Amino acid sequence: MRAVRDSMDVLNGKWKIPIISSICFYNKRRFSDILSDIEGISNKMLSKELKELEINKLITRTVLETQPVTVQYQLTQHGHTLRTIIDNLKDWGVKHREEIIKN
């Protein structure tokens, strides 16, 4: 149970899994791309969640020296281990939606 608790502590809240999914499906994402992918998240909340994901070594933040400056986020090698979980959640969500709609 402790391992499940640790996992839930890292991925808690309503935004972390959608953020990881956005980055996971596109490999590299800019802040504005993630913001537009996730309906209802504010700039401030996205920034906070990205920092927490970076602290937990799930994503890396890269500042590109462009005009204007561009920041990209991508999964770390450790973050890529979540791909199976994200894919399983997506598949389950599709099946669950079909189950609910048919009734």
Query: 23-43 b/e with 16+ CB inside 10 Å = b?
Result: bbeeeebebeebbebbeebee
Number of alpha carbons in the 13 Å side-chain half-sphere of residue 40: 3
Fold of 2-102: Arc Repressor Mutant, subunit A (1.10.10)
Task: Return the pLDDT at 103.
Answer: 65
What phi and psi values does residue 57 have, to the nearest 5 degrees? 60, 35
Mean pLDDT by 10 residues, the chain (103 residues): 89 94 92 96 97 97 92 96 93 94 81
Domain assignments of the chain as residue spans, ordered by start: 2-102
Structure token pair of residue 54: 């970076």
Q: How far apart are CA 33 and CA 72, in angstroms?
A: 10
Task: Return the pLDDT at 102.
Answer: 85
